[in-house]
Structure 1
């Protein structure tokens, strides 16, 4: 029986839960019986709402790289050609090629009538992702960053037959306009019910709610609605909340929220500041640092080796004409991606997959600085093996000092861009109270260090 058929059978019989927090380490996930982190380099969130996008070829590319995540916007928000200077933006469908959750009638939408064709496309996308082991972060809403985006929204009163949504864009996602809120929550209930059978799913309340006037009480209402609907359904799915760009300390987490997402989360301070939550922390969008690979590769290594559970790179090489991610990315598109970056990111994914995440935790080492001092470096230790992984980007050499338990160890220096082991040595640690010093070979951009018990 095909793997997908086995998984589907297990899900339907209730023996396999949807993506969930791992019961042995709730900073990470369990998916289809295995501990996991979610890693991807994915398209600009228009796979479902853009009718011209070939999501099968797109998902094939993610699977080929060993990636297990994609973000997709629900269709309550879309962009227009030229938005944010993005060339060939998948989130900006051509005229007549926009898939909205609501039926369009004579050029206007009916917020009381859902489009069954939209939900068929959505569930087809979910099924194709499931076959390939790809988890979908289904983003329910997104603020309208500028007036032009609000002008084309079905929720704008000028675009719907219900004459609902006669308000400024900054008030769309508040509790000020109850008729509009009612329609938003009706959509949430329909989407949650339609997707309940899928195990490869979690919901994000709203993309970047810290823009455009989105209020916390409105976000809380959406999360409560998701939870209430699923109480009467077979499956329960995780809910994510997008907290901030960069970092912020979460003081009063919503009890219905399990995943806390940050955009542009470099350096990975969000993990350190929120470690006490014991929940997955996600780096949910990259960009605005040019089109080269090295900066985004560094962000991925630093975040995941600091204990992050999600790394979602925004990859602009996926377009309508190149759904396999082979489009050339040129300025002024505000980010990077492409086949070479995905190859590099897959190296990191394989390293993380080699850890037992139920026994993995962040750990500190010291990295000698050029001025003769030392700065802390965060890495991961799998205490079950044990196996240690560290990363450095300040060259041309890295000198780590670290206290290891007495054993014989294999030291491997890895080039993150290629995965090549560029130096191997053996170290015998005899004194439990002494630091072991390890010096890398010379490198250009970055280097990774893997320390494992020497079996031979």
Structure 2
């Protein structure tokens, strides 16, 4: 009898311990003040307990490779103009970049030894961004580092350049990214060692979001393997992280995350922000709404845009699009319910991919901050269904709306002159209207507008109408708040 009692007591103690562990884990996640999906609206992020809209731009994709004032001055500028969001690829292909591995002799590297300068730069970068409250979307792998024959020919991952991997094992980048599919344990071990070192640093910060691949066209097994791997590392460290993978097709990126929700936590639809993979004008918006609808079917997650392509109006990079279109994409993304929007970096002369943090970008970041100080966008939903043209040619109407129906409405107008009708939908009488002149960073004086109700209250098509006409030929936002 005593034996049974002892066994029962041990079982009860074990169950009590399991409950305590579960409660501690739950409290740990709830108390986590770092970047994570917003508890009140998981389409968005929150940081240190508050909802946060992430916007930015930078002149490089791997700013961790910068040192000293080159980095800190750029970060200060980003903060001054209202930005709080950066992209950082663990890349090493630009002039002045350093590799992660120690060079033991001329052009010969040891994959078991580190180049301390590489990791020192990363630590400095994360220290400086964290101090400024800048959220970093960090990409682990970038095929463009080793895709070309010249880059592969010089890179430490090339067996010809290291003392660790048998020559001929990896002949090019295709072999490097095939290790998971081929179950090449010996070679994966070196890749794991790099990721282990990376996470040993990044897990110390609460300002990092993770992305597996840049513009991935690799097999899904590769992306899933590394997502699962870094989740395992974070679990061992008692840290919660959020992971995605960016694919060349925005719809495939969404499909992949939705298919594997146990290892991916948000989507990145950056490829919708260029002419060749996404769309321009209304097509860009329609793509965004299509993807948002699919995500909503299985539960909201943040939609990130770490790259908005388009630069140099009249330039030659037709794949990226124009800078004016990039700016419109920036506004459509935020009005369209995305959690983040960042302008892509400039590239080689005459084939610019992005605008970086140039003066025009700075102006639009400031203007967005002005709007978000008035508009509670995390309480809003995209609502172009509330808009109608005032002339019978719908294709000529470019306007993009978000609303907390019955409370606040914001409509973005690209450059041009537009007249539209807004139906506030709920029975409201008076609203306060202000226009945000984006280029001049000015709010108009408030004016009171009254809703005109058309039709009979019991008739089909009964609607409220607020006529809106843009005050000039520049891009602007109409912001309305219900008074009565």
TM-score normalised by L of structure 2: 0.77
Count of residues paired in the alignment? 412
The ranges of structure 1 where at least 4 consecutive aligned residues each deviate by more than 6 angstroms after the TM superposition are none
Tell me which of 256, 272, 281 is aligned to 2:290: 272
Deviation of the 1:257 alpha carbon = 1.3
Question: C-alpha separation between the residues in 2 aligned to 1:180 and 1:256?
Answer: 23
Quote the Cα distance in structure 1 between the aligned partners of 2:35 and 2:118: 24
Contact 1:208 1:242 in 2 (8 A): yes
Instruction: For residues 166-203 of structure 1, give each alpha carbon's deviation from its aligned partner in whole angstroms, at most 9, with x where no partner exists.
Output: 23322322323443322222222221122212111111
8 Å contact 1:247–1:270 — kept in the other structure? no
2:210 alignment partner, SS class:
strand
How big is the alpha-carbon RMSD for the aligned residues of Structure 1 and Structure 2?
Answer: 2.9
Matches of 2:289 and 2:195, distance apart in 1: 29
TM-superposed deviation, 1:430:
7.2
C-alpha change, 1:159 and 1:14, in structure 2 (3 Å) is farther
Structure 2 stretches lacking a partner, 5+ long = 1-27, 274-283, 314-321
Pair 1:29-2:33 in alignment: no
1 CA distance for matches of 2:29 and 2:379?
30
Q: 1:217–1:271: structure 2 CA closer, same or farther, 3 Å change rule?
A: farther
Aligned equivalents of 1:411, 1:16: Cα separation in 2: 39
Partner of 2:403: 381
- Decide which structure has greater strand share: 1
Report the Cα offset of residue 439 of structure 1: 2.2
Displacement of 1:446: 2.6
Q: What is the aligned partner in structure 2 of residue 403 from structure 1?
A: 424
CA distance in 2, matches of 1:414, 1:452: 14
Per the alignment, in what secondary structure is the counterpart of residue 361 of structure 2? helix
Q: Does 1:229 align with 2:245?
A: no
- CA displacement at 1:13 relative to structure 2: 13
State the Cα distance separating 1:370 from its structure 2 match.
5.9
Q: How far apart, CA to CA, are the structure 2 residues paired with 1:133 and 1:169?
A: 36
Aligned twin of 1:342 = 362
Structure with higher helix content? 2
TM-score by length of 1: 0.81
Instruction: Give the gaps of 5 or more residues in structure 1.
Output: 1-11, 80-91, 318-328
Matches within 5 A, 1:38-437: 38-50=54-66, 54-75=70-91, 78-79=92-93, 92-94=94-96, 98-106=97-105, 107-144=107-144, 145-163=147-165, 166-174=170-178, 175=180, 176=182, 177-210=184-217, 214-245=218-249, 247-248=251-252, 249-250=254-255, 252-266=259-273, 267-268=284-285, 269-275=287-293, 276=296, 277-291=299-313, 293-316=323-346, 331-337=350-356, 338-364=358-384, 365-368=386-389, 371-373=392-394, 378-382=400-404, 386-393=407-414, 395-405=416-426, 406-422=428-444, 424-429=446-451, 433-437=462-466
Output the CA distance in 1 between the equivalents of 2:125 and 2:301.
28
The aligned counterpart of 1:87 is none
RCO greater where, 1 or 2, for CA within 8 Å and sep 6 or more?
1
SS of the equivalent of 1:243 reads coil
For the 8 Å contact 2:137–2:306, the answer to whether it is kept is: no
8 Å CA contact 1:157–1:166 kept in 2: the answer is yes
- Asked if the contact 1:297–1:345 (Cα under 8 Å) also holds between the matched residues in 2, the reply is no
- Structure possessing the higher radius of gyration over alpha carbons: 2
Counterpart-to-counterpart distance in 2, 1:306 and 1:240: 20
Residue 307 of structure 1, CA deviation: 0.5
- For residues 273-321 of structure 1, the C-alpha deviation after alignment (integer angstroms, 9 at most, x for no partner) is 244141111222123443565322211111110001111112439xxxx
